[in-house]
Amino acid sequence: MALDLQAIRREFPLLQDKTYLNNCSYGVLSHRVEAAFNEYLNSRKEWGAQWEHWVERQESLRAVVGRLLDSPAEDVSLSTSLSQSVNSLASSLDWTGDRDTVVVTDFDFPTSSQIWLAQSRRQARVVRARADDSGVHIPLEHFDELIDDRTLIVSVPYVCYRNGVKTDIGPIIEMAHDRGALVFVDAYQAVGSFPISAADTGADFLAGGCLKYLLGTAGLAYMYVRGSLQAPQVPTMTGWFAQENPAAMDIYHNAPASTARRFESGTPNVSALYACAAGIELLLETGLEAVGEQVGHLTGLIAQGAAERGWKLVTPADPARHGALMALASTDAPALVRAMSEENIVVSDRDGNLRVSPHYYNNDDDIQRLFAALDRNANLLRPAD
């Protein structure tokens, strides 16, 4: 499906003034999401509080996230951040039995590793699957060495936030399940940039947030819970929106919801309910297959441009091994980000690398402008080995 990029780009006014390639950090505000924010503000002006309507909004968003993940709405929990989701999940696990171990990786985002490390105070044992000498690959045998009959859960990112490496999660999930362990997938840097069916991944839990490729805003995240009605995990980190009937206002009993909603907590971020639904619906209207094709085309141009100039591309060039984020090695990444900003090009840096992350609304001209500016600052880029 060919995208009408001119029409798409009109929906995002920032693109008229800037070359925005920082979607791994925050997506661009669309007219539709701005209108959704205004709809929320107008409801506050007119009604003050509309809790019944806002709860309906929350359930509508749950259904939209379900469509995004190809999942039943009952298997979707909503939270204010991925950190809240992971904390809720961690609180549901018993580390005092024979299975006391969580396997984490060198590619984790800080919050997930920090939360699992914090479980050591609850008797959890934390082991880490290390990257090989290339720094951009964790061999399957490293997981094979760690996942055993002590493993309770394996936590793995789908796409690494630092280098854009896309992990082949299928064999890891199969290995973990064969050995009786659960699997949590951090899909924050993946969902919205290509089609994902949460159920088809085989993951027991898959989480992300709405502020990057989902075009929404901060303050809202989600977690898929496979077969939530049958899943035995019940969090001890809870709140009134996690109850089977929040309206019961029962202070004498804890009655968690039977669905994934039991992983929720307190009052939701109502403004984000409006904005994030609008962003996801915009993506769904375009179609994730088309989005993935455009992102793949643009990341291919980035890999090609770096190779032609002899610059070190930290991210593997193989499309099967990277997400929407491409990392270029730099001699001074913060200075390079500043230099790009002076030319109205928005990028970011991590670990001494320039992060370039296009979305479906970017076009070939954006990539050409990026490389023209990089050419003028080639002294800040490292040559390939």
Residue 368: give its domain's CATH number: 3.90.1150.10
Residues 118 and 250 in one domain: yes
Of the residues 242, 264, 284, the one at which a domain ends:
284
Indicate whether 199 and 316 sit together in one domain.
no
Shared-domain flag, residues 274 and 293: no
Q: Which of 267, 284, 301 is the last residue of a domain?
A: 284
Same domain as 296, residue 174 = no
In a domain, 42, yes or no: no
Residue 342 CB burial class (10 angstroms; 0-12, 13-18, ≥19): exposed
Question: What is the rounded distance in angstroms from the CA atom of residue 385 to the CA atom of residue 373?
Answer: 23
DSSP output for 244-297: S-GGG--SS---B-SSGGGG--SS--HHHHHHHHHHHHHHHHH-HHHHHHHHHH
Domain boundary among 284, 319, 342: 284
Please check whether residue 165 lies inside any domain of the structure. yes
> Structural domain of residue 222, as residue ranges?
50-284
Question: Per the structure, how many domains does the chain have?
Answer: 2
Q: 92: domain CATH number?
A: 3.40.640.10
Is 55 contained in some domain?
yes
Q: Does one domain contain both 58 and 9?
A: no
Taking the whole predicted model, whether its pTM rises above 0.75 is answered as yes
Q: Where are the alpha helices (DSSP H) in the chain?
A: 5-10, 31-47, 51-69, 82-91, 110-118, 140-146, 169-178, 198-201, 270-286, 288-309, 333-342, 364-375
Tell me if residue 191 falls in helix, strand or coil.
strand
In a domain, 44, yes or no: no
| Same-domain pairing of 267 and 300 | no
- Each residue's pLDDT, cut to its tens digit, for the chain (385 residues) gives 579 999 999 999 999 999 999 999 999 999 999 999 999 999 999 999 998 999 999 999 999 999 999 999 999 999 999 999 999 999 999 999 999 999 999 999 999 999 999 999 999 999 999 999 999 999 999 999 999 999 999 999 999 999 999 999 999 999 999 999 999 999 999 999 999 999 999 999 999 999 999 999 999 999 999 999 999 999 999 999 999 999 999 999 999 999 999 999 999 999 999 999 999 999 999 999 999 999 999 999 999 999 999 999 999 999 999 999 999 999 999 999 999 999 999 999 999 999 999 999 999 999 999 999 999 999 999 999 8
**Within-domain flag for 40:** no
